[in-house]
Amino acid sequence: MADLTLIEAVNLALARALEDDPDVVLIGQDIGVNGGVFRATGGLAARFGEERVRDTPLAETVIAASAVGMAVEGMKPVAEIQFAGFMYSCFDQLINHAGRLRTRTRGRLTCPMVLRTPVGGGIHAPEHHSESPEGWLAHIPGIKVVTPSTPAAAYGLLLAAIRDPDPVVFLEPTRLYRMLKEPVADDGAALPLGRAFVRREGADITLVSWGATLVEVGQAAQTLAERGVSAEVVDVATLRPLDSATLLASVSKTGRCLIVHEAPRLFGAGAEIAAQVASEALMSLVAPVGRLAGYDTVMPLARLEDDYLPSAARIVAAAEALMAYR
Amino acid sequence: MADLTLIEAVNLALARALEDDPDVVLIGQDIGVNGGVFRATGGLAARFGEERVRDTPLAETVIAASAVGMAVEGMKPVAEIQFAGFMYSCFDQLINHAGRLRTRTRGRLTCPMVLRTPVGGGIHAPEHHSESPEGWLAHIPGIKVVTPSTPAAAYGLLLAAIRDPDPVVFLEPTRLYRMLKEPVADDGAALPLGRAFVRREGADITLVSWGATLVEVGQAAQTLAERGVSAEVVDVATLRPLDSATLLASVSKTGRCLIVHEAPRLFGAGAEIAAQVASEALMSLVAPVGRLAGYDTVMPLARLEDDYLPSAARIVAAAEALMAYR
Amino acid sequence: MKTAAQFSVSYHQFLNAKGALAEPPPGLDLPALVPVYRTMAFTRAFDARAVALQRTGQLRTFPSSLGEEAATVGLASVMRPDDVLLPTYRETGAFLWRGVTPVEIFLYWAGDERGSAIAGPRGDFPISVPIASHCGHATGVAAAFQYRKEARVAVCVLGDGATSKGDFYEAVNLAGVWRLPAVFVVINNRWAISVPAARQTACATFAQKAIAGGVPGVQADGNDAVAVRHVVGQALERARSGEGPTVVELLSYRLTDHTTADDARRYRSADEVSAAWAEEPLVRLRALLAREGLWTKADEEALIADNQARLEAAVADYLATPPQPLTSMVDYLYAELPAELVAQRAELAAREGGHHG
Amino acid sequence: MKTAAQFSVSYHQFLNAKGALAEPPPGLDLPALVPVYRTMAFTRAFDARAVALQRTGQLRTFPSSLGEEAATVGLASVMRPDDVLLPTYRETGAFLWRGVTPVEIFLYWAGDERGSAIAGPRGDFPISVPIASHCGHATGVAAAFQYRKEARVAVCVLGDGATSKGDFYEAVNLAGVWRLPAVFVVINNRWAISVPAARQTACATFAQKAIAGGVPGVQADGNDAVAVRHVVGQALERARSGEGPTVVELLSYRLTDHTTADDARRYRSADEVSAAWAEEPLVRLRALLAREGLWTKADEEALIADNQARLEAAVADYLATPPQPLTSMVDYLYAELPAELVAQRAELAAREGGHHG
Ligand SMILES: Cc1ncc(C[n+]2csc(CCOP(=O)(O)OP(=O)(O)O)c2C)c(N)n1
Ligand SMILES: Cc1ncc(C[n+]2csc(CCOP(=O)(O)OP(=O)(O)O)c2C)c(N)n1
Ligand SMILES: [Mg+2]
Ligand SMILES: [Mg+2]
Instruction: Tell me the per-residue pLDDT of C216-242, one tens digit each, with 9 for 90 and over.
Output: 999 999 999 999 999 999 999 999 999
Residue of chain A whose Cα is closest to the Cα of C180: A66
Q: Return mean pLDDT, chain C.
A: 97
Tell me which residue has its CA closest to atom 13 in ligand 2: D192
- D357 pLDDT more than 50: no
Decide if pLDDT at D355 tops 60. Answer: no
Q: Is C40 helix (H, G, I), strand (E, B) or coil?
A: helix
Neighbours of chain A (3+ CB pairs under 8 A): B, C, D
CB-CB under 8 Å, C140 with A69 = yes
Query: Are residue D97 and residue D164 in the same domain, yes or no?
Result: yes
Contact across the interface for C357 and B296, Cβ inside 8 Å: no
Q: What is the pLDDT of residues A128-164, one digit of tens each?
A: 999 999 999 999 999 999 999 999 999 999 999 999 9
Distance from CA of A108 to the nearest CA of C (A): 6
Instruction: Determine the average pLDDT of the residues in B58-74.
Output: 98
- Position A34, amino acid: N
Q: Which ligand does the CA of D164 lie closest to?
A: 2
- D356: pLDDT strictly greater than 80: no
How far does A225 lie from chain C, in Å, by closest CA? 34
CA–CA distance from B205 to each of B154, B310, D241 (Å)? Answer: 27, 18, 65
In chain B, residues with a C-beta closer than 8 Å to the C-beta of C319 are: none
Tell me the pLDDT band of C81, cut-offs 50, 70 and 90. very high
Residue C47 belongs to domain spanning: 10-323
The finding on whether D192 has its CB within 6 A of some atom of ligand 2 is: yes
Do the Cβ atoms of A113 and A77 come closer than 8 Å? yes
Q: For B22-43, how does the pLDDT look when each residue is reduced to its tens digit (9 = 90+)? A: 999 999 999 999 999 999 999 9
CA distance C251 to C206: 9
Query: Does residue C2 form part of some domain?
Result: no
pLDDT level of residue C195 (50, 70, 90 thresholds): very high
Answer yes or no: do C127 and C267 share one domain.
Answer: yes
Please answer whether residues A14 and A172 qualify as being in contact, where contact means their C-beta atoms are separated by less than 8 angstroms. no
Same domain for D246 and D102, yes or no, is yes
Express each pLDDT in B134-143 by its tens digit.
999 999 999 9
For chain D, the average pLDDT equals 97
Proximal ligand: closest to the CA of D89: 2
Among all residues of chain B, which has the CA nearest to that of C349? Answer: B307
Q: Is C129 in the pocket of ligand 1 (CB under 6 A)?
A: yes
Spatial separation of the C-alpha atoms in residues C208 and B122, rounded to whole Å = 41
Q: Are residues C224 and C349 in the same domain?
A: no
Split at pLDDT 50, 70, 90, the class of C284 is very high
Which is catalytic among the residues B124, B129, B139, B261? B129
**D39 and D55 share a domain?**
yes
Judging contacts by C-beta atoms under 8 Å, the chain B residues touching residue A61 are 89
Say whether residue C119 is in contact with chain A using an 8 A CB cutoff: no
CB-based contact D267 A34, cutoff 8 Å: yes
Both D334 and D263 in a single domain?
no
Do D74 and D191 fall into the same domain? yes
Indicate which of C86, C128, C333, C337 best probes the interface with A, i.e. most A CBs within 10 Å of its own CB: C333
Domains B2-184 and B197-323 share a fold: yes
Distance C194 CA to ligand 3 centre (A): 9
User: Which residue in the set A263, A271, A301 is minimally distant from B271, CB to CB?
Assistant: A271
CATH of A197-323, one of 3.40.640.10, 3.40.50.920, 1.20.1090.10, 3.90.320.10: 3.40.50.920
Quick one: which of A23, A48, A12, A21 has its CA closest to A33? A48
Identify whether residues D105 and D148 lie together within a single domain.
yes
- The C-alpha atoms of residue A322 and residue A288 are separated, in whole angstroms, by 7
Amino acid at A16: R
pLDDT confidence bin for D159, thresholds 50/70/90: very high
Whether A29 is in the pocket of ligand 2, judged by its Cβ within 6 Å, is yes
**Does residue B129 have an active-site annotation?**
yes
In short, whether D160's Cβ falls inside 6 Å of ligand 2 is yes
Q: Which residue of A has its CA nearest to B128?
A: A96
Residue of A66, A92, A194 with shortest CB distance to C140: A66
* Residues of A with catalytic roles: 129
Q: How many whole angstroms from B127 Cα to the centroid of ligand 1?
A: 13
Are the beta carbons of D328 and B106 closer than 8 angstroms?
A: yes
Confidence band for C355, pLDDT divided at 50, 70 and 90:
low
Q: Is D94 strand, coil or helix?
A: helix
Residue among C3, C11, C213 whose CB faces D203 most closely: C213
D258 among known catalytic residues? yes
CA dihedral of D118, D120, D125, D126, whole degrees rounded to 10? -20
**Nearest chain C Cα distance for residue D57, angstroms:** 38
Which residue in chain C is spatially nearest to B299 when comparing CA positions?
Answer: C329
Tens digit of each residue's pLDDT (9 = 90 or more) over D21-39: 989 999 999 999 999 999 9
Tally of domains within chain D: 2
Annotated domain spans of chain B: 2-184, 197-323
Query: What is the DSSP secondary-structure string of B117-173?
Result: EEE-SSS---TTSS---HHHHTTSTT-EEE--SSHHHHHHHHHHHHH-SS-EEEEEE
Q: How crowded is residue D57: how many other Cβ atoms within 10 Å of its Cβ?
A: 7
If pLDDT is split at 50, 70 and 90, which confidence band does D353 have? Answer: confident
ω into D121 cis (within 30 of 0): yes
Q: What is the domain-level CATH number for residue C133?
A: 3.40.50.970
Q: D254 CB under 6 A from ligand 2?
A: yes
Tell whether the model's pLDDT for residue A297 goes beyond 80: yes
Within a domain: residue C274?
Answer: yes
Q: What is the pLDDT of residue C15?
A: 97
Tell me: pLDDT of C356 over 90: no
pLDDT tens, B193-242?
A: 999 999 999 999 999 999 999 999 999 999 999 999 999 999 999 999 99
Q: Does residue D48 surpass a pLDDT of 50?
A: yes
Q: Which of D1, D176, D205 lies nearest to residue C4, judging by beta carbons? A: D205
The distance of D4 to chain A (nearest Cα, Å) reads 29
Residues of chain C positioned with their CB less than 8 A from the CB of D12: 1-2
Distance of CA B168 to the CA centre of its chain: 11
Query: How far apart, in whole angstroms, are the C-alpha atoms of residue A243 and residue A163?
Result: 19
Task: Find the D163 Cα to ligand 3 centroid distance in Å.
Answer: 26
> Quick one: which atom of ligand 2 is closest to the CA of D254?
20
pLDDT in tens, C25-48: 999 999 999 999 999 999 999 999
Say which CATH topology domain B2-184 has: Rossmann fold (3.40.50)
D257 and D356: one domain? no
Mutate which: D54, D58, D59, D60, vs A, most A CBs within 10 A: D60
- Which of A59, A128, A301 lies at the smallest CB-CB distance from D165? A59
Q: Are residues D297 and D202 in the same domain?
A: yes
Is residue C280 domain-shared with residue C242, that is, in the same domain? yes
Q: Return the closest-CA partner of residue B120 out of B69, B172, B169.
A: B172
Task: Choose the mutation target among D88, D127, D329 for the interface with A, i.e. most A CBs under 10 Å.
Answer: D329
- What is the distance of C-alpha C212 from the center of its chain? 24
Neighboring chain C residues of A106 at a CB cutoff of 8 Å: 113-114, 116-117, 328, 332
Q: Would you call D254 a catalytic residue per the annotation?
A: yes
Contact assignment for A307 to D131 by CB distance below 8 Å: no
| pLDDT value at C357 more than 50 | no
**C174 in contact with A, Cβ within 8 Å:** yes
CB pairs under 8 A between A and C: 135
Please tell me which of the candidates C116, C122, C136 has its beta carbon nearest to residue A61: C136
Q: Is the CB of B82 under 6 A from ligand 1?
A: yes
- Find chains touching chain B: ≥3 CB pairs under 8 Å: A, C, D
More confident residue, A1 or B183: B183
* Closest among D125, D120, D122 to D137, alpha carbons compared: D125
